[in-house]
Amino acid sequence: MATPNAGIPQSMSEALDQMWSRFQSEIGKRLDVLDAAVAALDAGRLTLEIQKEAHGAAHKLAGILGVFGLPRGTELARQSEHLLEKDVPAESVADLAAWVAELRRLVEGRTLRH
């Protein structure tokens, strides 16, 4: 007979770690979308489609990273989201690239800790 709590995490931290494992791939894909947008911007080939996809990826990252204890990630994703809402000025490409690189470091750092 199975125990009533079988399979239930022992703590909130364990529950978040299990959720992180499930969402990690999707988070990585969203970061890849942002990287592609930065590359397109840098090459002067950002299409409306790429921009919209990157805006959506940033929006979703902003919504979920704080849940996983990455409030700085939420902040960076929001900054990226706001920048991608309209035409991105050429002088902002470096900012976006830096934000996306920091986002990736934060996500990879959380992954390594768990």
Closest to 70 measured CA to CA, from 11, 10, 24: 24
pTM (predicted TM-score)? 0.85
Please report the domains of the chain, with CATH numbers, ordered by start residue: 23-113 (1.20.120.160)
Q: What is the pLDDT along the chain (114 residues), one digit of tens a residue?
A: 444 445 555 688 888 888 898 999 999 999 999 999 999 999 999 999 999 999 999 999 999 999 898 999 999 999 999 999 999 998 899 999 999 999 999 999 987 665
Alpha-carbon span 42 to 29, nearest angstrom: 20
